[in-house]
Amino acid sequence: MTFRASPFVRPALLALTLGLLGSSGAQSGTATQTASLVATPPTAPTFCTEDLELYVELEVGGRNRGTRLVYPEGEALWVEAAALTPSEAGYVAAQKDCNGVAFVRLNPTLRTRLDGQALSLVVEANPALLGTTTYRVGTGQVSYASDLPLLRLSYSVAAAADVSRGVDTAAMQVAVQYWRGNLRLEGSARLAGGQGRTPGTVYGARADYDLSPSWQVGAFADAGSGEERFGVRSSLSRLVLRDVGPIELDFPSDAEVQVTVDGETRTAFLAPAGHLVLTDVRAKYTSGTVAVRWTDGVREGQSTFPYRQASALQPGSFGVTGEVAWNTRAGLEANVEGRYVLTPQVSLQAGFEQSNGTPRASLGAVWQDGEQGANLNASTDFGVRPSGAPSAEGVGTRVQAGYAARTGPVTFGLSSTWTVTPAGTDPRRSEARLVAAYNRSSLEMYASVAYSLSRELSGRVGLDYRPTAAALLSASADMGREGVRFRVRGRFMLGSGRSVAVEGRPGPGFAAEYTQAIDNDLLRLNVQNLAPYVAGTYTLNRGISATASVNSSGQGAVSVTGSVSRVAGQLTWNSTRDGSVLFLKTGVPGLTLRVNGQPQGRTDAAGDVVLTGFRAGLPLQLSFDPSELPIEVGYRQDRVGLLPDRAGVNELDWRENFTVSRWVTLRWAEGHSAAGATLEVAGQVFTADDEGAALLPPLPAGVPALLRSEDGTQRCHVVTGPKGEVPACGS
């Protein structure tokens, strides 16, 4: 499905889009609209007289349609046909021309309010007269495919020392990665040593290739410390998500709609006024939320729809991973795992492993009902000695069962595990556990207790209380073999990135911590009544991550971690060694982009930016500040939820989210500028300034427009040219 940006549009540009696109059938997905315009043969209109002519400010379905010509005829109202959108065809009772302009008579069942003194006409929305649109969302998977090469050098250096012994440990790791399309190559080296240790170096190489989105193959090799290991690996999957729809909403007027599933924007489209039914909404979890955000250029809102389902995968889904390697010390090694979804509640699992000359196989079945919060897991392992005789240590059957439920602020759960070996029930690996929690407003209480067949009883109780947004008080008690241990803790936010935490336990157990955020850096000081008594740590996070720590016992440590990447001619520094890269195209120079609310980059002269430091498969929100945009630039949305799925370069073309307008001088037939005039295009009105200049977005060719003078006495019809230009009247 083609990804399209969504709501939060500047009203003028959105309204133009609504008029030009007409219905959601032009958008991605599948949409069906049940209404169509009523057409009647032209007849001599009786209402078309100057005595009935009235210019009013028209509002339909809560959205302003500009200054319009209206003819009241008895109980009937005739309005310009251009003031209605195609989705409002049910509002039309008849259609006729008056002086070359199409007018429609409003359906008499509509509720209208005509104010002759205020010169306004309000037409209330009537859902019964609007159509029904069905929109198929599907997986809505955004394509992040990119053929841009990524070259990355990652590094990590760490050392720890003691005043009396000198350097205790030291390690350094360097890796070079090259990613392009479906190909991934990596080479690495790691050197480690220290007091009493023999320095050693380990080298590694990796090569992976995606034969398809669901089938990956690769090879690897490691050498060093007297051991070599090399082999191949592969994974194959077919995962089909279940549908959590249908979802139904009503809109009084055409609106831009954005559908987000668990934080990931699946699609955005133009929804016609009326009843909207969203189908084929695929969710990746057993429970979560579908959010529908909308705007009609004036109003905006959001509706949320929580869901729960027995399983996120449809029957027939499966996944298999396998790896085979030769180890110069241990010989042949293998590991294969597979899973098959039999029903929405039942899945089968199987595995095979060979290590140190001993093969081991496993079979299992899982029953899980996400809607009811219940699960049952049964598995068995079977191992064989190198001689071929069964290994008693390798035989075992394990059964797990659990149930969880929530009623208001109370959550409770019950689980049990039973493990059987040839010698009988294993008491240390067989237990029952009960958990309960209460969570309301600023108070949370929790408790858990477990009992094993070895007659061991353990448990924990505690509470968290938040008297203010800047304070958290906690108390807990743990019960086990060593008796009962109590602990109290408090954390207080002091503002300006500062916080203090204190902790106390019976006996020698007092500790305090002070933290101070300095831009992106962090200072942490610890004090306790056990050695070391005082410790301090400073973390630098500015393109690299560097940490230095010392304590009163004479110990210290330092580490430096980071990477430098080159993508699309841009060089970026990052404080993490790996992670995904997003190459974003906006077409807007100098725009600051935020990832999860934090500024991460600024677009270059071409409107492009490279963002780094996030992981594939984790959702993130991309946003910008609309106030940074120049007046000529409009936008369809100021944020979007993404789920980049590539560990290398993810590329997203977001240029269609922005519209660059231009100043156009409107002119009458004699060539004079149309100062103060209005240009009506597709139901939207643009007003010219004192010099006749109006700010217009890009217009398609062949769109009819009406130029009207400020006092309404002069007007003419024009049609946009081949490049969307607005010609002078009469040309």
CA 203-209-211 angle, 5° bins: 160
What pLDDT score does 123 carry? 92
The pLDDT value recorded for residue 327 is: 92
**Which amino acid, residue 604?**
D
Q: Phi/psi of residue 722, each to 5°?
A: -60, -30
Is the Cβ–Cβ distance between 649 and 146 less than 8 Å?
yes
Q: Report the pLDDT averaged over residues 59-69.
A: 84
35-52 mean pLDDT: 59
Q: pLDDT of 405-438, one tens digit each?
A: 888 889 989 999 888 877 778 887 888 999 999 9
Q: How confident is the model at residue 236, as a pLDDT?
A: 96
Neighbours of 133 (CB within 10 A): 24
Residue 618 has pLDDT above 80, yes or no: no
Position 16 pLDDT exceeds 50: no
The single residue listed with the structure tokens 């032009």 is 26
Question: Across the chain, what does the average pLDDT equal?
Answer: 83
pLDDT the model gives residue 395 = 62
Q: What gap in Å lies between CA 725 and CA 716, rounded to an integer?
A: 16
pLDDT value at residue 23: 35
Amino acid identity of residue 608, one-letter, is D
Checking if the pLDDT of 17 tops 80, the result is no
Residue 184 DSSP symbol: E
The answer to whether 45 and 96 have CB atoms below 8 angstroms apart is yes
Decide if pLDDT at 489 tops 90. Answer: yes
Specify the 3-state DSSP secondary structure of 89. helix
- The larger pLDDT score, comparing residue 415 to residue 648, is at 415
Q: Which pLDDT tens digit goes with each residue over 516-535?
A: 998 888 999 999 887 778 99
19: helix, strand or coil: helix
3-state class percentages of the chain: helix first, strand second, coil last, to nearest 5: 5, 60, 35
Q: Give 548-570 pLDDT, tens digit per residue.
A: 999 988 889 999 999 998 988 88
216/233 Cα distance (integer angstroms): 8
Fold annotation for 578-660: Immunoglobulin-like (2.60.40)
Nearest by Cα to 626 from 13, 1, 2: 13
Query: If pLDDT is split at 50, 70 and 90, which confidence band does 141 have?
Result: low
Residue 383 confidence (pLDDT)? 65
Chain segment 300-348, per-residue pLDDT in tens: 889 999 998 888 899 999 999 999 999 988 889 999 999 999 998 899 9
Stretch among 4-8, 318-322, 541-545, 613-617 having the lowest mean pLDDT? 4-8
Res. 645 pLDDT band, cuts 50 70 90: confident
Collect contacts of 219-227 with beta carbons under 8 A, ≥24 apart.
220/325, 224/190, 224/200, 225/200, 226/329, 227/327, 227/328, 227/329
- Contact between 333 and 231 under an 8 Å Cβ cutoff? The reply is yes
Which residue(s) pair with 325 in the sheet?
Answer: 231, 333
- The answer on pLDDT for 25 being more than 60 is no
The closest of 441, 482, 484 to 462, measured between CA atoms, is 484
Query: What CA–CA distance (Å, rounded) separates 113 from 329?
Result: 89
DSSP structural state of residue 125: -
Radius of gyration of the chain (CA): 34
Q: Which of 196-205, 289-298, 420-429, 630-639 has the lowest mean pLDDT?
A: 420-429
**Each residue's pLDDT tens digit, 695-719:** 888 887 888 888 888 777 787 888 8
Indicate the class that CATH gives domain 35-129: alpha beta
pLDDT one-digit tens code per residue, 338-396? 999 999 889 999 999 988 878 888 899 998 887 777 888 888 887 654 444 444 455 67
Mean of the pLDDT values across residues 71-82?
Answer: 87
* Over residues 133-144, mean pLDDT: 73
Rounded distance between C-alpha atoms, residue 49 and residue 58, angstroms: 20
Question: To the nearest 10°, the Cα dihedral for 694, 700, 705, 709?
Answer: 10
The model's confidence at residue 7, banded by pLDDT at 50, 70 and 90, is very low
Global pTM reads 0.70
Please report, for the chain, the start and end positions of each structural domain, with discontinuous segments joined by +.
35-129, 578-660, 662-719
> Residue 226 pLDDT > 70, yes or no?
yes
> Which single residue is written with the structure tokens 């007092």?
510
In this predicted structure, the answer to whether residue 268 has a pLDDT above a threshold of 50 is yes
